[in-house]
C-alpha cells in the first residue's frame, strides 16, 4: 500500500491518478478542511470515477504524530508531495512548519514504523550553479552565499532530513521539478501563471527558468519507484523560457496584446520602493525574488532521460492543455 501526502494538491492529485491507473492500493492524506471536489473532478474527467472511490482518505496534518502513526500502518511507500508553496517571506513560519518540520516528522515516523520507501518532491530552487557550470545538474550544490527564498530554504531542510533517512535504512528517491505547469481548480499556486498572464496590465521580466508539466512529474515518480532507483535525485524539466515569452505565448492564444519586458532599472526601482511596504508589514521584493526574476538558469535532464527514454511534454503543449483547462474551470465557476 502507498501513502500520499498533499493528495489534494496539484502534484498530489495527478500522482493519485497515475497510482490508480497502476492498480495501487492508496491511502491519501488530506487536511480537515480540504475539499475532495477538485480531485474527484480530475478523476471523472479521465474516466477514473471508480478508481477515485477506492482511495482511502485520512484526515491529519504533519504535526499530528499519533494520527500519522496510524496512517503509516501497512504502508510500503510514502510519496511526500505536501508543501506550503509560497514566496512571500512574511509567512516563513507557516512555510517551514510544513516543508521542514513536517518532512522531518514524516521521515522519523517512516523509520520507526518500518516503511520501506520514501519519495520526496523537492524543488529546483535548492540547486545552485557555480561560476564554472554551464548547466545545473543533480550534482550542483546549495550555495549558502546566494540569496534564497524561505521556500527554497525550507525545501532544502526537508530534503536534508530525507537524505538522513537514507542513512538510517530508508530507500529514498528525490525529484527536483522546475516550475510546474498544471491545472486543477483555478486556485493553485501553479495556476497563477495563467491569471497573471491574462491580466490587462500584465508585466514580466526577461528572466529565464525551467518548466515541466505536472503529468510528467507524476508519471516519472511512479516509474522511478517501479524501477527501484533508490537513493538518487532527478531533475524534472522540459526546457527553459523567459517569463515574458511564457506570458506572451499565453496572451497570443487569447488574442491579447503582447507585453514588453520590464527593464532591469524599473525592476530595481520596484525592489527599492518595496522596502517601504516591508517597513509597514506589507509585501516586498526580497533579494531572492529579484534574482529569480532576473536569473538565467539552464537545467540538465541527461540523468532522467537515460531512464525514461522519451521526451518531456513540451512547454507549449503543457501551456496549451492546462490553459484551456484553467479557462474552462474559471468560466464554469463564473457561470455558477
Sequence length of the chain is 336
- Provide the pLDDT confidence category of residue 132 given band limits of 50, 70 and 90: confident
Q: Is the per-residue pLDDT at 81 higher than 60?
A: yes
Q: Which percentage of the chain shows pLDDT scores above 70?
A: 91
Tell me: pLDDT of 176 over 90: yes
* pLDDT for position 326: 95
Q: How confident is the model at residue 268 (pLDDT cuts 50, 70, 90)?
A: low
Q: Would the pLDDT of 279 be above 50? A: no
Query: What is the phi/psi pair of residue 183, to 5°?
Result: -140, 140
Average pLDDT over residues 17-39: 95
Could you tell me which residue, 70 or 265, shows the higher pLDDT? Answer: 70
- Summarised one tens digit per residue, pLDDT across range 134-169 is 899 999 999 999 889 899 999 999 999 999 999 999
Whether the CA torsion 110, 111, 114, 116 is positive or negative: it is positive
Cell of 260: 514588453
In this prediction, residue 39 has a pLDDT band, given cuts at 50, 70 and 90, of: very high
Buried b (16+ CB within 10 A) or exposed e, 59-73: ebbbeeeeebeebbe
**Domains of the chain: residue spans and CATH:** 2-182+211-239+298-314 (3.40.50.720)
Inform me whether the pLDDT recorded for 285 exceeds 70: no
3-state secondary structure the chain: CEEEECCCCHHHHHHHHHHHHCCCCEEEEECCCCCCHHHHHHHHHCCCHHHHHCCEEEECCCCCHHHHHHHCCCCCEEEECCCCCCCCHHHHHHHHHHHHHHHHHHHHHHHHCCCCEEEEECCHHHCCCCCCCCCECCCCCCCCCCCCCHHHHHHHHHHHHHHHHHHCCCEEEEEEECEEECCCCCCCHHHHHHHHHHCCCCCECCCEEEEEEHHHHHHHHHHHHHCCCCCEEEEECCEEEEHHHHHHHHHHHCCCCCCCECCHHHHHHHHHHHHHHHHCCCCCCCHHHHHHHHCECCECCHHHHHHHCCCCCCHHHHHHHHHHHHHHHHHHHHHC
Which whole number is the average pLDDT over 27-37? 93
Average pLDDT in the 293-298 region? 82
**Dihedrals phi, psi of 26, to nearest 5 degrees:** -120, 130
Return the residue matching grid coordinates 557550470. Answer: 133
The arithmetic mean of pLDDT across residues 197-217, rounded, is: 92
Rounded mean pLDDT, 202-206:
86
**Global pTM value:** 0.93
pLDDT at 309 over 50: yes
Q: What is the mean pLDDT of residues 106-128?
A: 97
Q: What is the pLDDT of residue 84?
A: 87
Q: In the predicted model, is pLDDT for residue 59 greater than 90?
A: yes
Q: Tell how strand 239-242 and strand 208-213 pair up.
A: antiparallel
Q: Is the pLDDT of residue 265 over 80?
A: no
Contact 213, 312 (CB under 8 A): yes
| Calculated CA dihedral for residues 252, 258, 264, 265, nearest 10 degrees | -160
- What's the pLDDT at 88? 66
- Percentage of the chain surpassing pLDDT 90? 74
pLDDT range class, residue 91, cuts 50, 70, 90: confident
Mean of the pLDDT values across residues 253-259?
Answer: 92
Answer yes or no: is pLDDT of 247 > 80. yes
For residue 77, which of 2, 25, 137, 130 has the smallest C-alpha distance? 2
CA distance 19 to 21: 5
Q: Across all residues in the chain, what is the average pLDDT? A: 91
Amino acid at each position: 500500500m502507498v501513502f500520499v501526502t498533499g493528495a489534494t494538491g496539484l502534484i498530489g492529485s495527478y500522482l493519485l491518478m497515475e497510482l490508480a491507473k497502476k492498480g495501487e492500493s492508496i491511502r491519501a492524506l488530506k487536511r480537515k478542511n480540504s475539499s475532495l471536489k477538485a480531485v474527484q473532478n480530475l478523476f471523472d474527467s479521465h474516466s477514473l470515477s471508480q478508481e477515485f472511490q477506492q482511495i482511502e482518505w485520512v484526515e491529519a496534518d504533519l504535526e499530528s504524530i499519533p494520527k500519522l502513526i496510524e496512517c503509516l500502518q501497512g504502508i510500503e511507500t510514502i510519496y511526500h508531495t505536501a508543501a506550503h508553496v509560497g514566496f512571500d517571506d512574511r509567512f516563513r513560519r507557516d512555510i517551514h512548519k510544513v516543508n521542514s518540520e513536517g518532512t522531518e516528522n514524516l521521515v522519523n515516523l517512516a523509520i520507526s514504523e518500518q516503511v520501506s520507501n520514501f519519495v520526496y518532491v523537492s524543488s529546483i530552487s535548492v540547486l545552485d550553479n557555480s561560476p564554472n557550470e554551464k548547466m545545473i545538474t543533480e550534482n550542483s550544490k546549495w550555495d549558502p552565499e546566494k540569496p534564497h527564498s524561505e521556500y527554497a530554504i525550507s525545501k532544502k531542510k526537508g530534503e536534508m532530513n530525507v537524505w538522513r533517512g537514507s542513512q538510517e535504512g530508508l530507500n529514498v528517491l528525490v525529484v527536483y521539478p522546475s516550475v510546474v505547469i498544471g491545472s486543477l481548480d483555478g486556485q493553485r499556486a501553479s495556476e497563477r501563471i495563467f491569471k497573471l498572464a491574462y491580466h490587462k496590465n500584465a508585466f514580466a521580466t526577461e528572466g529565464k527558468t525551467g518548466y515541466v508539466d505536472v503529468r510528467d512529474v507524476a508519471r516519472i515518480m511512479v516509474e522511478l519507484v517501479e524501477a527501484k532507483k533508490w537513493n538518487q535525485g532527478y531533475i524534472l524539466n522540459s526546457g527553459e523560457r523567459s517569463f515574458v515569452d511564457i506570458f506572451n505565448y499565453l496572451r497570443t492564444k487569447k488574442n491579447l496584446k503582447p507585453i514588453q519586458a520590464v527593464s532591469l532599472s524599473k525592476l530595481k526601482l520596484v525592489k527599492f520602493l518595496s522596502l517601504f511596504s516591508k517597513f509597514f508589514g506589507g509585501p516586498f521584493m526580497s533579494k531572492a525574488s529579484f534574482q529569480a526574476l532576473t536569473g538565467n538558469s539552464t537545467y540538465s535532464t541527461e540523468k532522467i532521460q537515460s531512464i525514461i527514454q522519451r521526451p518531456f511534454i513540451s512547454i507549449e503543449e503543457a501551456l496549451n492543455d492546462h490553459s484551456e483547462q484553467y479557462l474552462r474551470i474559471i468560466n464554469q465557476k463564473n457561470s455558477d
